[in-house]
Amino acid sequence: METKNNLLPSASCLHTLKMPPPNPRQRLFFRAKQKYVIFGGARGGGKSWAVRWKAVLMCCKYPGSRVLIMRRSYPELLANHINPLKSLLYGFADYNGTEHEFRFPNGSTIKFMYCANDDDLLNIQGHEYDVICIDEATQMTEYQIKTIAACVRGVNAFPKRLYMTCNPGGKGHQYIKRLKERKFRDGEKPEDYVFIQSLVTDNAALMREQPDYIEQLKALPPKMRDAWLYGNWDIYEGQFFEEFTDNPEHYGDKRFTHVIAPFAPPPGWKIYRSFDWGYARPFSCAWWAVDYDGVVYRILELYGCRKDQDGRDIPNEGVKWVDDKIFSEIARMEREHPWLAGKSIQGVADPSIWAGEESGVSRYDAAVKHRVYFEKGNNDRIPGWMQCHYRLSFDKNGYPMMYVFKTCEAFVRTIPLLCYDPHTAEDLDSSQEDHAADEWRYFCMTNPIQPQPEQRKTDIGFDPLNQFTRRRMKK
């Protein structure tokens, strides 16, 4: 397959581009006409190669078209796209290093930008592109992807497309996984989306040049192997709380889960409250019941997250409630909810709410006005996260030390998405939607426990959900 520049020859266009034959999956990627094309699912599937050639083909076919290629960092752009394209397009298109842009004689351009955090999105505001390619899209958040996608527009007749390549894992994992599974929301037209699975075995060139690559992938730790070799989107390496599951099949046994149906806590169980403040980002408040064995249950939550028109959380966008409104609502719930009314509740909160206490203008002062009291949470992050891990782990009989009522939707939604900080070992990446995790951590540090005995599933001869309910209620 080959393509030629279709305008008059120039000094910068002296030869014909010859594209090697694509593999069957890449061919599907090139031919896809949907507005949102997702390509990937595993390592080594030839995704970056396909992105480069797709950008070149679009520029050649549609004179004057504007193409943007994005990745998380500039070094990744340089290594994976800019340098290979300099070699490929030498004598065919000129590269402007100041603008990070290839310019074709027919007026088409391929520009390169990166998005490491939300602030980088300012660089794309007001821009218009006919085609945007986000390489390794799961390394960006849903908000970042959607903001970038909004720049696919223009008044010309060129196709308007967003191409995304990806592997399981990363900040955008859950969003891409939802699109892959075709679980669309209002405003998302199913006919606009296609997911093309690509595995290393589809990449004939890599298999020919590096036949031992599959064996390298097979030697990886199980989670990484399943994600990178087989394209398993249910588990992925880098997930911070990989123990947490509301899907018992995650552990190969239908009896293993942390998420359970709600029930009224017995009168003798102690009740706690944990709180993490937020305004532009969500605040999170949770109530916990502790049984006679020290097992904790997240029974209620108040999560300050904006909703879409269907009543679903808009990830990491706060409701912007002032302190007085937050604490008055917490006080109302504790007066009126049958599980909380009349209870002695011990509270723990983000230490930052005490800032300004000397002048009497702290957020804690606003809480006290509504008779909502807290102790300062222990903000030692690594020990706190370890307490969370200890609570999630299963003991030798198949019991974790915490359960979550399925009505605590913010916790169930956000905890599985959290990933490790790439710069700080054992810490969580705080740029994510970690508000429920933070107040959970403060609570765990008020009730520290020792690591649980090693899990031995073969010892289990009963249904743990029925058993823990009978055993705990009996006491």
The CATH code of the domain that includes 450 is 3.30.420.280
Domain-embedded: residue 355: yes
State the pLDDT at residue 204.
66
455 with 323, same domain? yes
228, 257, 283 - which closes a domain:
228
* Longest Cα–Cα distance in the chain: 87
172, 197, 228 - which closes a domain:
228
* Residue 149, phi-psi category: left (phi > 0), alpha (psi -120 to 50), beta (remainder): alpha
Q: Report residues of the chain scoring pLDDT below 50.
A: 1-14, 249-252, 254, 455-475
State the pLDDT at residue 460.
30
199 with 253, same domain? no
- Could you list the residue range(s) of the whole structural domain that residue 19 is in? 2-228
Domain-embedded: residue 266: yes
The residue ranges of DSSP E strands in 304-419, in sequence order, are 305-307, 313-318, 345-349, 375-376, 402-405
Domain-embedded: residue 241: no
State the pLDDT at residue 209.
65
Domain-embedded: residue 235: no
**How far, in Å, CA of 274 to CA of 287, rounded?**
7
**How far, in Å, CA of 366 to CA of 354, rounded?**
10
**What are the phi and psi torsion angles at 37 (to 5°)?**
-115, 120
State the pLDDT at residue 442.
98
Domain-embedded: residue 176: yes
181 with 253, same domain? no
Contact 385, 244 (CB under 8 A): no
260 with 187, same domain? no
Identity of the amino acid at 184: F
State the pLDDT at residue 42.
66
State the pLDDT at residue 462.
32
160 with 305, same domain? no
**How far, in Å, CA of 69 to CA of 38, rounded?**
14
Return the residue matching tokens 């939604």: 413
State the pLDDT at residue 351.
95
366 with 254, same domain? yes
In sequence order, the β-bridge partners of residue 7 are none
174, 200, 228 - which closes a domain:
228
223 with 268, same domain? no
Q: What is the DSSP letter of 457?
A: G
State the pLDDT at residue 303.
98
Domain-embedded: residue 237: no
What is the Cα Rg of the chain in Å? Answer: 26
260 with 222, same domain? no
164 with 80, same domain? yes
Q: Both tokens of residue 369?
A: 């006005």
DSSP states of 297-320 as a string? EEEEEEE-EEE-TTS-EEEEEE--
**How far, in Å, CA of 29 to CA of 37, rounded?**
7
Domain-embedded: residue 243: no
The sheet carrying 131-134 orders its strands as 94-96, 101-103, 109-114, 66-71, 131-134, 161-166, 36-40, 193-197
H or E element at residue 57: helix 47-61
**How far, in Å, CA of 50 to CA of 165, rounded?**
9
Domain-embedded: residue 325: yes
CATH number at residue 117: 3.40.50.300
**How far, in Å, CA of 269 to CA of 264, rounded?**
10
Structural domain total, the chain? 2
State the pLDDT at residue 224.
63
Strands 66-71 and 109-114: parallel
**How far, in Å, CA of 217 to CA of 226, rounded?**
9
216 with 257, same domain? no
Identity of the amino acid at 98: T
Q: Is 312 exposed, middle or buried (0-12, 13-18, 19+ CB in 10 A)?
A: middle
169 with 276, same domain? no
327 with 212, same domain? no
Contact 162, 132 (CB under 8 A): yes
